[in-house]
């Protein structure tokens, strides 16, 4: 499993639209078969900061299976208006240090 973190800085007047866009784009994530889980967190101290966390079956599953698959064009269309607000977008592997 690979975890992708995407950090955004979203202007106050765009926050509701941002969350709504990802809620709508979740349809494509669920249909893809490569995305295992996803969530969006909003900053408490800095509410303009958002983190999108996506769990992918593998890096190849994300970059080849999803990005070159039939769901990606519609997913990208929905979230593309916010891509200029990305601060970081990277993939990570988990370590053996986990709770429960």
Q: Residue ranges per domain, the chain? A: 2-92
Q: What is the pLDDT of residues 24-42, one digit of tens each?
A: 999 999 999 999 999 999 9
Q: What angle do CA 42, 45, 47 make, to 5 degrees?
A: 40
Pairing relation of β-strands 86-92 and 2-9?
Answer: antiparallel
What are the pLDDT digits (tens) for 60-88?
999 999 999 999 999 999 999 999 999 99
- pTM as predicted: 0.94
- Please state which CATH class domain 2-92 belongs to: alpha beta
């Amino acid at each position: 499993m690979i975890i992708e973190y995407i950090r955004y800085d979203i202007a106050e007047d765009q926050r509701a639209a941002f969350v709504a866009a990802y809620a709508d784009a979740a349809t494509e994530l669920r249909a893809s078969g490569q995305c295992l889980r996803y969530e969006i967190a909003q900053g408490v101290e800095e509410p303009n900061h958002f983190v999108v966390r996506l769990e992918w079956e593998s890096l190849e599953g994300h970059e080849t299976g999803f990005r070159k698959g039939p769901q990606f064009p519609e997913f990208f269309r929905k979230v593309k208006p916010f891509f200029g607000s990305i601060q970081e977008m990277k993939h990570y592997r988990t370590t053996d240090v986990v709770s429960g």
